[in-house]
Chains A and B, each alone.
Chain A
């Protein structure tokens, strides 16, 4: 039996649908949900729960600024974000990540909210957003709440959305003083790749080459994004040199808890994610 597919135009339409149909599947770009549905054989009887496509809700699309914060609404596609001048200027780390996500088609369809709510350990957008200290805003028909992205992601495939709530947008502070935005992803090929390991880094590097501030996050090497204040503290105030980075590497190894899968072993993930730290040396004389 066919599923109903609903295309609300406004958030109010969406709340009404929520009210009428408590059991439903939300999707934005469809690049995850429709792949999942494909592998599930259809039920021979009964009516499957409706699909709600969020792509037509204008209130969930676009990027705007408010009080020194940039809000990326959840259903903004990766391509739209990549093209946005504010994002390019202030958050190049995010632009870089998105240019490596999936493929051009996937970026035209997939949304940042979808990538976050899928909450894959390999979700590409998560590491830069962690380093940027992003918050997310969840909304329901009568309320909204803001929380750090870190608290929103509960584990693989699990986020802190309650019944009747959706992810409305991602808030990032516009003014930061990081002058180095770095991202690297290890995949099995250069495009259409799911990360074996990835690392995002933001650094405030002084003219003399001292790390004044640093934020680091690793993807695909733990159930959720791996961060460690111990490492960041250990590097802060130090010159950006090979020895300094090498000294911090054991701390990275300790912070990771990767698994084996079809793409790579846990051991490789751990060591390669650690090695990615050395890539920061390219900024030494930058």
Chain B
């Protein structure tokens, strides 16, 4: 039986969704709309008595105070939006599995279902059917995951609408196919491309050779595989190899052999693995010297010993491709997915904090090509996804940034990270170590498996275009995961499992495959895997990336207790098989073998790639322009630029203080609305220790030189930490980094590919150089190499293909222990009469600056890039940082802020309007080395600088501490709420009201 419960706001009650939709339609399309009314529709496909239905309406679906059961509606146009079959409908599944059983005290059957849709009833006489279709597809729904039904009132009167359930009608028969690899090279490539396997020819040939080996064939015969598979891989095997060997899982470019040639210096060298040479080996060396790194670069996340009691576990991932196609689903899956990394590290960590970093096209973009979502939609959807994912999991956001550039229109970047903690020891054992032993039982915990997310790993290793596959898109379910993580932490503390890892990219093939390395083998049965719906072939079950699942290894004697606790917590756990010391990755479907691979071949058989990299310095036009006359106006415009303006409207929607641990919040100042340089949070209740979190990023420097880009962002992350009162790393001070690369390599070994690889080499060299200089160990990182978009255009009747690449994008994250949070400092000025200092030297380093971008756009409609990119002098920077730490330790500072994008001008303005007091400053006093121009001094983005305020009575002590550094008192905090800056000629260059400046900063992305 089918029931449809249609719920609306009572007349007179506010229909917030309707009102907001009306506003969105008006601002997006400029249509005239009289009203939009919305209805929530719950469709139930189940056997229910009349009385049961009434009970559900009364006690569950309708809020009797403000809502009512709607019957006939009137409207001009009707749009109904609902999920396509197979897409996760979280509300529908909660209704079916939790809400209805709580009332009826019985479970709905597997083939019964509840699904939700939203109706938009639009009143407007101006709209045509085509307009309404655009509203439906461009604004309200994403056709990749949602179905849209559009009807006019007249049509609706004529014929009754039919609503069908989005159920997947699974096929009955199960197929296991063989792949014939004994074919030509072209055929091999075709098999890889058509199967979205993302394997290159050499890899396909290696696989072919393996399956033709005599001993392999003998062994396959011996265990009784079907004859068809004796010398050919099954679909499950080929898929499993493709997942395990994917760029996403194996980081093939980072581990390749690179012939690098630097045309600038003439130097040539052979690099055997960028990752080992520049990241892992140097980091391990630094980590060994410092002593507190517990685990780096081998588990799902890195771990450091924070104090005698706890380890901090940290990981950042990207989820770019899915977010480009379905921003909400891609992003929520991104955050909920990275949550499982700390959860699956060591014995399993408790999740503490989330972070994000996004790169988008301008939300004010006018037109986008077909097949590309509008950047505003991507931005809104990505934010909403990470907001829901974090908020619903009860994990506060402690850091988030956005960067805008038109190239990200085609390929947004979505970084999501999670910090966790775990006790140093659990039940007497070090928590960061784990092991699966032969005989341990393989148990899958959490959500069920469907077709969603098949080929996620190989898909993210391929470039996007209009025809990109959509089954890789899924929607995370934070509540299912929260229940699972609560349960697993309980099981961990009872010592009920020995080893744990998450099901992410590659699904079971990766999770079981990885854990099987501890004991060299496993055997499990895919038929036992609980499915969302019937009809999945074994290979699909093996590689499906359905979310919210962990795999654990349980000792046989503890299985019963594990399953019992799981049941009590409402979490599904299923025995799939066991680990063994067989040297084989053995997968069956019932009693039929569907995969039988040598563990060694699976994990070590991947041939290394050999690549070429050639560095040739690009030369950009050095901008030549007059200094703007109206500097008040210039500062205002700079404050309103996308890469500088306030992002408060979005930031506020992230819960940033659940758990009650925040000490320096995301937003600070008199009105709590200006971002802090870094945030600080307690990790334990009742302690005075805290964890500081900050990031550095600036893809605009990459175009000039990725070496200095990397140096600059490492310095940015560090000085943000120093600014809130942190200290450089030492044996006693935990301070670690994470590196997350998003690169843009579409073809290897082409001229363009060689250059982009050289850019990657330079970034890695800087990472090694500056981590060594500042003694910061990286403990975890990730790379996403193929952030390009194939744009197919028709120019003069000819079809052309253009590759659009993102600028090389690197996020460097810094985390530091704060020993006494009461001595931290924030960026806002706090008291009139305080003295304002600038620390560090300013150069005319405007290459890649926001000011050059602005001037270029203003003068010629295209940003200037320039060549003089900011550099980092690590030795003088370290001296400054030590002195600043001494000053904050002695509580001499009232405020401190480090200039980043927009330089001193923007930093001074933000500092003043955050604090609510004015400033009087003289640019002549700023330590500066360069061409004598006010605008250069104001907007240069030189590194390693601070602006800070000191109460006058602390002047002497402060200056004594700073004496070996370059510093200068440049002005004073004033009561009058104005920013007054004297220029190099001694006249007032800027004299602006703080309210005015703040408005300019808030308007761009305000409400």
Do these two chains interact?
Answer: no
List chain A positions with a Cβ less than 8 A from chain B: none
List chain B positions with a Cβ less than 8 A from chain A: none
